[in-house]
Amino acid sequence: MTLTHPTLARQLAPTPSLLRDVLLVVGGAAFVALLAQAEVPLKPVPMTLQTLGVLLVGAALGWKRALAALAVYVAAGAAGLHVLSGGSAGLMNAAGTGMRASVGYLFSYPLAAALVGFLVERYALDRKFLGTCLAMLAGSALIYAVGLPVLGALTGLKGGALLTAGLTPFIIGDTIKLLLAALLLPTAWKIIRK
């Protein structure tokens, strides 16, 4: 399957180079780290703007660079850099007795960014409002498909209790983030075309 549509990054910096790719990957990771600092401290999983960054990086960089950027972000947090939600670091919980409850969501980020990047490169979904909504919805669904089962395994929550802890508090915020991305990306394309 050929990926035929350029991403925003490729449109703005069309000449391929290792330096360009490294800067885009590190910049994507830094962008997500910056958005992770906007936090509403819910338990067991905080609400942040991380997912907005994950999805935007996926759309802007394409699947390969987005996968790399989010892998760098997760690795930086795991290595102890304070880039995770609210300036936290490490994959262990605050007590240091086990994995943090949000680790499944963190591990889903490279996959979700890559999925959004693939959809953008294959189908140019970031050019129109509805297409962007579909790409962001697919990325968000993947985040929950990975994050919720891991949250359940780590906390022992099941069924409705698991959904109440790891999904329902985030639906309104995720919808707002999705709509924001669906406004930003097509607008960016309109500006670039002019």
Could you write out the DSSP letters of every residue in 101-158? TTHHHHHHHHHHHHHHHHHHHHH-GGGSHHHHHHHHHHHHHHHHHHHHHHHHHHH---
- Residue identified by tokens 């972000």 is 73
pLDDT at 95: 61
Q: Model's pTM, two decimal places?
A: 0.94
pLDDT at 168: 95
User: Tens digit of pLDDT per residue, the chain (194 long)?
Assistant: 666 899 999 999 999 999 999 999 999 999 999 999 998 887 888 889 999 999 999 999 999 999 999 999 999 999 999 999 989 999 887 666 678 889 999 999 999 999 999 999 999 999 999 999 999 999 999 999 999 999 999 999 999 999 999 999 999 999 999 999 999 999 999 999 88
| Cβ pair 110, 70 in contact under 8 A | yes
Query: What is the C-alpha separation between 94 and 109, in angstroms, rounded?
Result: 21
Query: What is the C-alpha separation between 25 and 19, in angstroms, rounded?
Result: 10
pLDDT at 99: 84
**What is the H or E stretch that residue 39 is in?**
strand 39-40
pLDDT at 4: 84
Query: What is the C-alpha separation between 15 and 110, in angstroms, rounded?
Result: 25
pLDDT at 2: 63
pLDDT at 154: 93
- In the structure encoding, which two tokens stand for residue 179, read together? 């709509």
pLDDT at 94: 67
| Cβ pair 66, 104 in contact under 8 A | no
* CA-based nearest residue to 105, from 137, 67, 60, 74: 74
